[in-house]
Amino acid sequence: MLVAVQGCATNPWADGQSSELPSVQSSAQSCVGNTGIVAELSDRFKLIQDSELLAEAIGEPLKGKLCQGAVYQSIDEVTIYRAWNSTNPNSQFGQWWSFQLPSGSTAQYRENYEICYQWSPLDKLVKCTLKPGTKVVVGNGQSAQCSEYLSYPVSKQQQVFITDAADAVHSCESYDSVMSWK
């Protein structure tokens, strides 16, 4: 069982952050990408154990969420981003975030992060600062079935799962989507 789990995830604890095997979980489907924090942010997080939080973030194939993940706790402030749905003001501080500023086409962003059109028009963006001490799950997207005509495969793009983002962030700035054609 352990070999199968490691087969889906790269070893996020290989940098010496922990001498114990952390909670790294994946679905039964083959996952791509890794659950390790990118080098430029690695000194701002520590790998921790929280199997309940990890289980909450992992989804079944074609249902969205994460394919694989690892739990971290922030030890310093970090900038995070969320594209959200302006027709649902409660979605501004939803559970799914990114360390990367969204760029490129909306269609490619949807595919990279498995965001079905029914879930959000992605017409707003919020940029916030994650508070130190916040637990997050970092992982790669699970496949999602949006309709009989549209589905997204698993993705190597890292996502950040936060259970109570409204309390976990501060210094937020909001932006509106603007149509731009190329």
Digit-coded pLDDT (tens) for 48-58: 999 999 999 99
**Non-local CB neighbours of 131 within 8 Å, separated by 6+ positions:** 74, 77, 168, 169, 170
> How large is the average pLDDT for residues 131-137?
98
pLDDT band at 137 (very low <50, low <70, confident <90, very high): very high
Choice among 13-27, 65-79, 100-114 with the minimum mean pLDDT:
13-27
pLDDT at residue 182 in the model: 82
Q: Answer for the pair 74, 134: CB distance below 8 angstroms, yes or no.
A: yes
CA–CA separation, 116 and 150 (whole Å): 8
pLDDT at 59 over 50: yes
pLDDT at 14 over 80: no
Q: Which residue would you say has higher pLDDT here, 13 or 130?
A: 130
- Which has more confidence, 182 or 21? 182
Q: How many of the other CB atoms lie within 10 Å of CB of 150?
A: 13
Confidence of residue 132 (pLDDT cuts 50, 70, 90): very high
Q: Is the pLDDT of residue 20 over 80?
A: no
As a whole number of angstroms, the distance between CA 91 and CA 101 comes to 18
Per-residue pLDDT, 24:
54
Q: What is the pLDDT of residue 21?
A: 37
Structural tokens at position 118: 């029914």
The confidence band for 93, taking pLDDT boundaries of 50, 70 and 90, is very high
The candidate with the shortest Cα–Cα distance to 79, out of 35, 131, 42, is 131
pLDDT at site 29:
58
Could you give the count of Cα atoms lying within 13 Å of 130 in the half-sphere of its Cβ? 29
Residue 175's pLDDT band (cuts 50, 70, 90): very high
Q: What pLDDT score was predicted for residue 13?
A: 39
Mean pLDDT across the stretch 96-107?
95
**What DSSP string runs through the chain?**
-HHHHHHHS--TTTTTT-SSPP-EEE-SSPP-S--SPPGGGGGGEEE---HHHHHHHB--TTB-SEEEEEEEEESS-EEEEEEE-TT-GGGGG-SEEBSS---S-HHHHHHHHT--TTT----EEEEEEEPTT-EEEEEEEPPEE-SSS-EE----SEEEE-S-HHHHEEEEEEEE------
